[in-house]
């Protein structure tokens, strides 16, 4: 049911907003690491030198894998199609 007088404000999903905040914070800390709006990873590598973790073939990474994981992550980044509204007199 659409009521007149209400304005729907659409905004990016939470994880995209948080990602943008992290990028803005990184730009504030290390502005030289950015070129054309993208991170130039070579700049932090040169600045950190030997302090960077070297991921060789023996690096261990742990993750969960399941059928449909890629589609699930994609679906979580899409906008909601609707809103659940409680029925009058219930709950």
Residue carrying the six token digits 């993750």: 63
Residue carrying the six token digits 């302090």: 51
Cβ-Cβ contacts under 8 Å for 35 (sequence gap 6 or more): none
pLDDT at 56: 60
Q: 49 in the Ramachandran plot: left (φ > 0), alpha (ψ -120 to 50) or beta?
A: left
Taking the C-alpha atoms of residue 83 and residue 91, their distance in angstroms, rounded to an integer, is 16
pTM of the predicted model as reported, rounded to 2 decimal places: 0.41
Element housing 34 (H / E): strand 34-35
Ordered by start, the domain boundaries in the chain are 12-52
Q: What is the pLDDT of residues 1-60, one digit of tens each?
A: 555 566 666 777 777 888 888 888 988 988 888 888 888 888 888 888 877 766 665 666
């Amino acid at each position: 049911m659409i009521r007149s007088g209400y304005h729907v404000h659409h905004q990016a999903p939470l994880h995209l907003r948080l990602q943008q905040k992290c990028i803005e914070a990184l730009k504030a800390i290390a502005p030289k690491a950015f070129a054309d709006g993208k991170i130039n990873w070579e700049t932090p590598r040169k600045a950190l030198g030997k302090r960077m973790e070297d991921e060789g073939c023996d690096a261990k990474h742990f993750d969960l894998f399941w059928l449909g994981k890629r589609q699930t992550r994609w679906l979580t980044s899409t906008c909601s199609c609707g809103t659940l509204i409680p029925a009058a007199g219930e709950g």
